Amino acid sequence: MKTRRTFLKQSAQLSLSALFFSHLIACKSGDKKMEETIKEEIKKKLALNPDATYMMDYISGDVGFFSERGGTIGWIANKEGVVVVDTQFPDQSKNLITELQKINDTKIDLVINTHHHGDHSAGNSAYTGITDRILAHENSKANQERVATERNQEGRVLPDDTFADKRTEKIAGETISLHYFGAGHTDGDAIIHFENNNVVHMGDLMFNRRFPYIDKSAGANIENWISILDKTKSTFNPETKFIFGHSDNGHDILGNLDDISAFKNYLEKLLVFGKESISAGKELQELKKSATEIPGAPEWKGKGIERSLDAVYTELAS
């Protein structure tokens, strides 16, 4: 007890980056009481504006998340370095950068895009001049180039570094692995693993209890998406903490393997429903008017089922 009191008294006087390191030690030691106390110190030192339009917190050690408008951002920040995963839009990235500079006010070592959609990559421009590298899967960069041309977005800031199957980076005292398991939500989705902290950013390969966008125009594949989630379950472990690209109201943007399994079930049942509907001679437009949920996956409700039905009919017709 004396050791804990001494440690916590010292922690209260530490810098934010040192507190993140202290939290990592507490996590590894299994001391839950110390972990919770340090969490509170971190929240105080982050000192988010009470009127802030965004939410920001850490997940494990010095790995955290940021949510405002668009796909969830992941980050690691300490005195050794800063890495940001996804960028939402320029204004949102500027808010994040302001907060990260409270931890480390030097350059951001690396920005990663999980895929090309604007709510995950349009904020790349906010990092001009403060990072030397934006990294994405090679198909993600190709998709960003294509969309920029189609929409006359001459000023869009694109990745300047790409990978094919797997890439490992060592930054900020962390080993960061990028995995590509094939086409899913698009044909360029990367899964990002902060290995030491065992936190995984899934990008839009995970929609937690929210009807997913399945971008067939960018090579999305429902059948292989199911395989990606199987590979995710076998690659990571029950202790892994996951960041999801999106979630429905009342559901978290953070989760575990059970959530991965639940979304895999949704995609499996979507394929079955599509095949059965086509076999029964149901027209797509008729189905879109009548269907409110996918049989066997009742947790996915609300608006957006039409996107899934469009995608599954397109995939099964090809």
pLDDT along the chain (318 residues), means of 10: 37 45 56 64 59 86 95 96 98 96 94 97 97 97 96 92 98 98 98 98 97 98 98 98 95 96 98 97 95 96 94 95
Kindly list the structural domains of the chain, giving each domain's residue range(s) and its CATH number in brackets, ordered by start. Answer: 1-47 (no CATH), 49-257 (3.60.15.10)
Pairing of strands 55-60, 63-67: antiparallel
Q: Which amino acid is at 5?
A: R
Cα separation of 314 and 195, whole Å? 37
- Report yes or no: 78 and 21 within 8 Å, Cβ to Cβ: yes
Burial class (CB in 10 A: 0-12, 13-18, 19+), 283: exposed
* The pLDDT value given to residue 49: 65
- Report yes or no: 307 and 214 within 8 Å, Cβ to Cβ: yes
* The pLDDT value given to residue 301: 87
* The pLDDT value given to residue 259: 97
* The pLDDT value given to residue 7: 38
Strand order in the sheet with 166-171: 166-171, 174-179, 191-194, 199-201, 241-243, 254-255
- Report yes or no: 27 and 37 within 8 Å, Cβ to Cβ: no
pTM, 2 dp? 0.85
* The pLDDT value given to residue 15: 45
* The pLDDT value given to residue 27: 56
Helix (H, G, I), strand (E, B) or coil at 249: coil
Cα separation of 18 and 122, whole Å? 32
Cα separation of 252 and 108, whole Å? 27
- Size of the chain in residues: 318
- Report yes or no: 140 and 186 within 8 Å, Cβ to Cβ: yes
Residue with tokens 């095949």: 275
Q: Which amino acid is at 144?
A: Q
Mean model confidence pLDDT for the chain: 89
* The pLDDT value given to residue 250: 87
Cα separation of 223 and 74, whole Å? 27
